Amino acid sequence: MLAVALSLSLTLSAAPKSHPYTVKDQVTLRRLASLDVSADGKQVALVVRETDLEANRGRMDIWLVNSDGTGLKQLTTHPENDSDVRFAPDGKSVYFLSARSGTQQVYRLSLEGGEPVAVTQSPLDIGSFILSRDGKQLAFSADVFVGCDGLECTQKKLEEQAKNKATGKLYTELLYRHWDTWKDGRRSHLFVMSLPGGTPKDVMKKMNADAPTKPFGGTEEYTFSPDGKQLVFTARDVGREEAWSTDKDVFSTPVDGSAAPKKLNAPNKGTDTGPVFSPDGKTLAYLSMARAGFEADRQRVMLRNMADGKERELAPNWDRSADAVVWSADSKTIYVSAEELGQRGLFALDVGTGAVKPLVTSGNVSWFGRAGDGLVYAWDSLKGPTDAFFVSADGSGTKQLTQLNADAMAQIRLGDFEQFSFAGANGDKVHGYVVKPVDFDPKKKYPLAFLIHGGPQGSFGNHWHYRWNPQTYAGHGYAAVMIDFHGSTGYGQAFTDAIRNDWGGKPLEDLQKGLAAALAKYPFIDKNKVCALGASYGGYMINWVAGVWNEPFKCLVAHDGNLDEKFAYYGTEELWFPEWEHGGTPWENPEGYEKHNPSQHVSKWKVPMLVIHGGRDYRVVDVEGMATFTALQRRGIPSKFLYFPDENHWVLKPANSVLWHETVLGWLDEWTKK
């Protein structure tokens, strides 16, 4: 078989005065990566990413804006990424991470002028950092060998390993590779040092566990106690059970390393994370899942009295899952973000009564922090990328602080969208979104991109996505429809739980009824020109649809999806996920893996399919995509296989993102615009 050479058609020509949203826009728009608010609430520091097409990478710099929206300016312009910005307690400087010296270190930049100065001299890359409340101590994470005495010990061992000409690696436990990385024996440990210039101390020296947890944990997982004497952090310290356990715990340890870390919440076997002390220091809030082995259980807000150790759940009757915690200045209110009916909003929880008050109810709230008499937060929606906003503490008023893409968005035309609902499986109310084509004409008929989200505990909500943005289809002349089927988040925990042991049941019924509802409600959709697309669980669902519901579709796109659920268990790394979803291991409950297994229905496949997979995807291994393509080719079904050897479960490199979108849109055009 001859390999087909694929080329990029992206050009750097000047954009026209006004144009439909394009793949180039998708890749090159500025992205607000994170933010931090000064202690006095007067300034906001931003990490802004811009795309360097020539270097085929994103580049992040530090920006600053006043909390009233004035004075936006860029602080750093170094070719290396400057990220993870946070204010010094006095507000006169900011700290951030940068690899401008060759290794990633913590830098300090005075807001009164001057150049950034390195405050750490670690021989290893620093992964994350926080400051104590008084600014006199720094805690940071670095990957080290357990038991090593100091950072230099790990550096020396790495140098010795590099001299070994043998390339084989011997493993004795699972999770030997995770997400997109093969392990080398190191763990992410937390170090504490005094400022300026203290000696870093590993405060979890003998723990065979990661803090922050891998692969996505960050500074939200550790904090100083108000007096600066303790470091409280999250870790999953479960020995050889790590690959099938979700038992993360909150630990406390002296900052001088004089005692071993101690669990604060030992009885709970689910995930506990995100510790945050109240401003008065009396209470520790953290997020907790009650059920062991379930990564998408409801995240409850727990409050721990630091005087007597007693704990209670805040707002136990609020059937939503909190994402993050920020305290009010008077310690009487906790602010959280949470998904709510296809939105991700901002809510105020009264610490005394547990009463819940919505503050921001539409769009997608991500990072947020306290700012004077309100909150600064990052917000996006299906109509635009992320910017910084301010909302008053009672939710009575909001104000936009930044317009990072004002010039670019003024030249872009987007499709209008609306949310709709219908009676799905069991007669339950199910929600979806439709995005109309750009330059919509109600007299015309348009082909449909039917997008299926991953997770499966996720949502295709009112959110500006940089990989699965329905506006890319709207800009290319398609309508887009997304259904939040049973298993989706933001509709109550029972709705999320409903997918367990039923991957191809109620979700499929919701998709079928959702498509029917959209076709009935929106006559501009051409029912004879429908293609379905999905990634991760959505990719699994495409493979399932291909065998059990292929009639409506002209074409399919499966990205990083399982073909065989039983084999997928043995190929993946986080075993708690399939064990929960399918009711045990394949040898304990083989029926749980076979009853909705796409590989059992390949004989009924007939719809043309584009298969996409990343070579560094260890969550859904690449052989699943190869097997899918093999089945399609052997059956003589028109098909293509787009393989990214350097991408993980996502497609992150700008050039690869362009190639992905152009290939997908070209595939849809081939089968809907003949």
**Active site (catalytic) residues:** 536, 617, 649
Listed in sequence order, the residues at least 6 apart from 269 whose beta carbon sits closer than 8 Å to its beta carbon are 247, 292
User: Of the candidates 539, 545, 521, 345, which has an alpha carbon nearest to the alpha carbon of residue 436?
Assistant: 521
Question: In 3-state terms, what secondary structure has residue 516?
Answer: helix
Number of H helices and E strands in the chain, helices first, is 12, 40
Rounded distance between C-alpha atoms, residue 593 and residue 501, angstroms: 9
Q: Which two tokens stand for residue 102?
A: 């060759």
Q: With the CA atoms of 571, 577, 578 and 584 taken in that order, what torsion angle do they form, in degrees rounded to the nearest 10?
A: 120
Classify 673 as helix, strand or coil: coil
Q: Which strand (E) or helix (H) includes residue 539?
A: helix 537-548
Residue with tokens 């010094």: 88
620: its two tokens:
């859904």
Q: Name the DSSP class of 489.
A: S
If you ran DSSP here, which 8-state letter would residue 425 be given? G
Asked whether the bond before 212 is cis by omega within 30 degrees of 0, the reply is yes
Phi and psi angles of residue 22, each rounded to the nearest 5 degrees, phi first = -125, 170
The full DSSP string for 206-274 is T--S-SSPTTT--GGGEEE-TTSSEEEEEE---GGGGGG----EEEEEETT--S--EES-TT--S-EEE
The distance between the two most distant Cα atoms of the chain, rounded to a whole number of Å, is 74
Residue 217's Cβ-side half-sphere holds a number of Cα atoms within 13 Å equal to 24
- 302 - beta bridge partners? 286, 313
